[in-house]
Amino acid sequence: MKILVLGSGAREHTIIQALRRDPDSHEILAAPGNAGIAADADIVALDPTNPRVVTDFARSSDIDLVIIGPEAPLVAGVANRLRSAGIPVFGPDSDAAALEGSKAFAKDVMASAGVPTGKAWSVETSEELLLALDQSEGPYVVKADGLASGKGVLVTEDRQAAIEHAEFYLQHGPVLVEEFLAGPEVSLFFLSDGTRVMPLAPAQDYKRAYDNNEGPNTGGMGAYSPLPWLPKDFVADIQRTVAEPAVAELASRGMPFVGLLYCGLILTDDGVKVIEFNARFGDPETQVVLARLTSPLAPLLLAAAQGDLTAVAPPKFSKNVAITVVLASEGYPENPRTGREIDGLDALASNKQVRIAHAGTGFDGTQLLATGGRVLSVVSTGKDFEQARERAYAALEKISLEGSYYRRDIAQGVSP
């Protein structure tokens, strides 16, 4: 198959690495990619958020499948145009991608579909904001309605901080005030062909920057899979109570969801609730989910893209565990320092238990450089979390990037 992958993160690098493990060999192209992706795919210089440019390229290059990694091209309507041109695309049209692009839309879909979620108030003015905060006992949860790369959410005991955060985002559009939900979080992905869904393996993401869940929210600093502490029927229950009703609701609104439905869940004392939906693979959860995938990836994504998941067998996952630890630049997430040299990766190339997925990396012709906040993901597998942790952290010690940091508590204390 000739496959075009859009995006430039560790998620896209992971998807490409998984495609390369398929028994059938594929011709893989990527736009815009990064220094790591360049070693595993042919880089194409095009704007991945421009629907016309992507579609013209896919058509003239006889692409069999386009996989859209990040949310921006989805919201920009890249999938719409590809689909109209008859090119199979894994990723929803912009109207269905609003499940991620607009938190108010997501809440409306959940309400209609009977999907369990916390209470929320959408506010547009300072007066409405204060009224909504009065309804909440705190901690306060305030979210920008649109895409904000993980930065739009503030969870705080400090009412004044909640007001300031909300006021900032109110300048750009509506803000959501939400009921605070307490409990462990789970990321569960479903492939969707528009009407049917198929679950992948559950994972847990570490959203805060520092150990013990301290510091600011980030895009994600690490993850592990599976989650041995989940109730036995968890995945089937979420399929029945969350994924299927949400996909059915979107289909009934004439906006079928074709792609990856990311269910961000929280296990409260009052049952499982959805915190958020995303319309794409999660980063860094994808690194651990696909590390455990033993079925070929391309046929699964193609079947979803072609609207018929019954054409493929459900994905299989290894009993081995996987963890990933994100190496971040100094100053991430607020103000990451870029342009510094990364060393030590060559020595890891022959290590079979550890894989490196590149995110913010670039190559200046002689040297690998950090170009972003999340620089790379170290992904390891093992028979248990202790072994996977030893492997990942031993690898991280060999990588040097001035000022960089990573969490040391990923999958710590998780028993098999």
The binding site for ligand GLY (CB under 6 A) comprises: 205, 220, 278, 282-283, 285
33 conformational bin, left if phi > 0, alpha if psi -120 to 50, beta if neither: left
Give the nearest distance from C-beta 183 to ligand AMP in angstroms: 9
Of 190 and 317, the one with the shorter C-beta distance to ligand AMP is 190
The region of 55-63, 128-136, 150-158, 234-242 touching ligand AMP under the rule CB under 6 A is 150-158
Among 275, 378, 379, 414, binds ligand AMP (CB under 6 A): 275
Among 118, 216, 245, 344, binds ligand AMP (CB under 6 A): 118
Query: ω into residue 284 within 30 of 0, thus cis?
Result: yes
CA 327 to chain centre: 17
The yes or no reply on residue 267 touching ligand AMP (CB under 6 A) is no
The yes or no reply on residue 318 touching ligand AMP (CB under 6 A) is no
* Strand order from edge to edge, sheet including 374-382: 204-205, 222-225, 321-328, 374-382, 354-358
The region of 47-55, 178-186, 231-239, 403-411 touching ligand AMP under the rule CB under 6 A is 178-186
The yes or no reply on residue 116 touching ligand AMP (CB under 6 A) is no
Among 70, 92, 259, 264, binds ligand AMP (CB under 6 A): 264
Distance CA 256, CA 95 (A): 9
Residue 217 contacts which entry, ligand GLY, ligand AMP, none (Cβ below 5-8 A, type-dependent): ligand AMP
Residue 282 contacts which entry, ligand AMP, ligand GLY, none (Cβ below 5-8 A, type-dependent): ligand GLY
Residue 275 contacts which entry, ligand GLY, ligand AMP, none (Cβ below 5-8 A, type-dependent): ligand AMP
Give the nearest distance from C-beta 203 to ligand AMP in angstroms: 13
Of 93 and 205, the one with the shorter C-beta distance to ligand AMP is 205
The yes or no reply on residue 180 touching ligand AMP (CB under 6 A) is yes
Give the nearest distance from C-beta 21 to ligand GLY in angstroms: 22
CA 77 to chain centre: 19
The yes or no reply on residue 93 touching ligand AMP (CB under 6 A) is no
End-to-end CA distance of the chain: 37
**Residues in the chain, total:** 416
The yes or no reply on residue 141 touching ligand AMP (CB under 6 A) is yes
Give the nearest distance from C-beta 62 to ligand GLY in angstroms: 31
For ligand AMP (CB under 6 A), the number of binding residues is 16
Of 95 and 179, the one with the shorter C-beta distance to ligand AMP is 179
Residue 278 contacts which entry, ligand AMP, ligand GLY, none (Cβ below 5-8 A, type-dependent): ligand GLY
The yes or no reply on residue 183 touching ligand AMP (CB under 6 A) is no
Distance CA 363, CA 253 (A): 46
The yes or no reply on residue 215 touching ligand AMP (CB under 6 A) is no
Of 153 and 357, the one with the shorter C-beta distance to ligand AMP is 153
Of 83 and 189, the one with the shorter C-beta distance to ligand GLY is 189
Of 50 and 217, the one with the shorter C-beta distance to ligand AMP is 217
Give the nearest distance from C-beta 92 to ligand AMP in angstroms: 18
Among 12, 178, 244, 249, binds ligand AMP (CB under 6 A): 178
Residues whose CB falls within 8 Å of the CB of residue 332, separated by 6 or more in sequence, listed in order: 209, 218, 373, 374, 405
Distance CA 352, CA 203 (A): 22
Binding site for ligand AMP (CB under 6 A): 118, 141, 143, 150, 153, 155, 178-181, 185, 207, 217, 264, 275-276
